Structure 1
Amino acid sequence: MSTITPAAHTEPERRKPILNTVDRVCEICFGLFMALTFVGAVKAVSVGGDAGTKMFHAALGCNLAWGLADAVMYLVRTLVDRGQRLKLALTARQETDRAVAVRTLRDALPETLDSLVEDDELERIRARLSATSTLPPRANFVRDDFVGAVGIFLLVVLGTFPVALPFLLIDDHRAALVCSRVLTLAMLFIAGCALGRYTGAGAMKAGIAMTALGVLLTMAIIAVGG
C-alpha cells in the first residue's frame, strides 16, 4: 500500500496575476476617456497649420501624465489596502476577548457575505490568526507592486497611443479628429466586450454600453466647443 499522503500530491501554487482582467481593461478605458476629453479641449483652442501636431502632443502628453498619476495612485491604494488588512489581522490576533475579535472580523466582511458566514467560521479564522507568527509589523511594498505600477503606466500609454496617431499621420486635423474619435469608440467597444465576457453580462451588450458611454461623452465635448 502506498504511504504517500495526499499532501504530497498538492500542486504547486499558481502565481496570481499582478493585474486582473478588470484592472487591465479599466485602465485602458480611463486612458481612452482622458484622451478623448483632453483632445477635444485642445481642438477648441488649436488653430494654424500645426494644429494636428499640437493635438498629437496633447493626446500623448495626456496619456503619459495620466499613466504616471494612475501608476502612483495604484501604489498608494495597494499600500493602504494592505495596511488595512494587516491592521485587521493584528487586531483579531491580539484581542483577548474572542467575541470582540469575531465581531471585528464580521464588521470587515462585505454586506453580501455577512449573512453567509457563521461565527464559528470566523472563530476558526481568528484562531489561525492567533497561531500565526509571521505577520509583519507594518505594511510594506513588494516587488510585484512596482511591476504592477509599471504595467498600469504602459497599459494607459500604449493602449491609447493609437488614438493620438491620426493627428500625426493625417494632415487635415479635422479628419484626424474624426478618425481619432472613431478609433476611441472602437477600442471602447472592444474593452466593453472584454468586461462583459469576464463578468458574464454579455460581450456585445457590454461593448455597446461602453461605446454608448463614449458617444455621450463625445457629444458633451462637442456641445461645449470641443
Structure 2
Amino acid sequence: MSTIMPAGHAEPERREPVLNTVDRVCEICFGLFMALTFVGAVKAVTAGEDEGYKMFFAALGCNLAWGLADAVMYLVRTLADRGQRLQLAQTVKREQDPVAAVRALRDALPEKLEPLVDDADLERIRARLAAAPTLPPRANFVSGDFVGALGIFLLVVLGTFPVALPFLIVSDVTTALIASRVLTLAMLFIAGFALGRYTGAGAMKAGVAMIALGIVLTMAIIKLGG
C-alpha cells in the first residue's frame, strides 16, 4: 500500500516505473491488435491511386490516436490513484479513534496482502500520519507524470510503427498487407516471449500462443472484408 509523505518530510515520494514488463507488453499488443484491425477495415474501403500511402497514413494515424489516448488515460489514472491515497491519509490523520484509523488503513490494503500485515504495522503508519504537521490539500501532477505519459505515447507509436511501414516501402498493396501482417505476428511472438519469460509461464509457449491469437484475429478481419 502506497502512503502519502507529510509535507516537508525529508524522504521523497517513491516512484514506481511508469510501466512494468507486463504493462509494456500489453500496451504494445493492444496497439498491434488495434492497428491490425484498423488496417483491415481501411483495406476493405480503400482502393485506387496512392492506396499504399493511404494505408500507411491510416495505420500511422491509428497508432498516434491510440498512443495519445493511452497517454491521457495514464495521466487520469495517476491523478486518481494519487488522490485516493491522499484522501486515505487525510482520513487517517483526522480520525480521533486509533482503532478506526487502523481499520481504514487495513481496508485499503490489497486483498492478498491484508493477512500479511499486522495491526502493529498499521498503527505505526497511523502514528506517523497523525504526527504529520500538514498534508497536501489536493492531488496534483508532477513533472515526472508528463514524462511518463510521453514515454507511453512513444512506446505505443514506435512499437506498432512497423505495422504501417510496409505500405510506404512496398508498391504492391497486397504484398505490403501480407508483410504488415507477418511483421505483426513476429512482433506478437516477441511480446508473448517476453511476457512468458517474465511471468514464468514459458517463453516459447507464450510466444506461440500470442501468434495464435494474432492469426485468429487476422482471419476474423479477412472474413469481415479486411
TM-score by length of 1: 0.88
Q: CA deviation at 1:158?
A: 1.0
Matched letter for residue 18 of structure 1: V
Q: CA deviation at 1:182?
A: 0.8
Q: Write the mapping of 1:122-201 to structure 2, written as runs, cut at 5 A.
A: 122-133=122-133, 135-201=135-201
Q: CA deviation at 1:18?
A: 3.3
Q: Confirm or deny that 1:37 pairs with 2:25.
A: no
2:93 corresponding residue in structure 1: 93
The secondary structure found in structure 1 opposite 2:112 is helix
The secondary structure found in structure 2 opposite 1:163 is helix
Q: Which runs of 5+ in 1 are unaligned?
A: 1-12
2:208 corresponding residue in structure 1: 208
**C-alpha distance in 1 between matches for 2:82 and 2:15:** 18
Matched letter for residue 35 of structure 1: A
1:66 corresponding residue in structure 2: 66
For the Cα contact (< 8 Å) 1:18–1:144, is it kept in 2? no
The secondary structure found in structure 1 opposite 2:157 is helix
Q: CA deviation at 1:16?
A: 4.8
1:220 corresponding residue in structure 2: 220
**C-alpha distance in 2 between matches for 1:138 and 1:15:** 18
1:78 corresponding residue in structure 2: 78
**C-alpha distance in 2 between matches for 1:167 and 1:16:** 38
Aligned-pair Cα RMSD in Å: 1.8
Q: CA deviation at 1:15?
A: 7.3
Q: CA deviation at 1:46?
A: 1.1
**C-alpha distance in 1 between matches for 2:213 and 2:146:** 32
Q: Which runs of 5+ in 2 are unaligned?
A: 1-12
Residue-pair matches, total: 214
TM-score by length of 2: 0.88
Q: Could you report, residue by residue, the CA deviation over 1:77-98 in whole angstroms, capped at 9, with x for unpaired residues?
A: 1000110111111111211111
Q: Could you report, residue by residue, the CA deviation over 1:60-105 in whole angstroms, capped at 9, with x for unpaired residues?
A: 0101111111111110110001101111111112111112111111
Q: CA deviation at 1:25?
A: 2.2
Instruction: Decide whether aligned partners of structure 1 residues 41 and 116 sit closer, same or farther in structure 2, where only a CA change above 3 A counts.
Output: same
Q: CA deviation at 1:134?
A: 5.2
Farther-moved stretch of structure 1 (20-29 vs 142-151): 20-29
Q: CA deviation at 1:124?
A: 1.9
The secondary structure found in structure 1 opposite 2:139 is coil
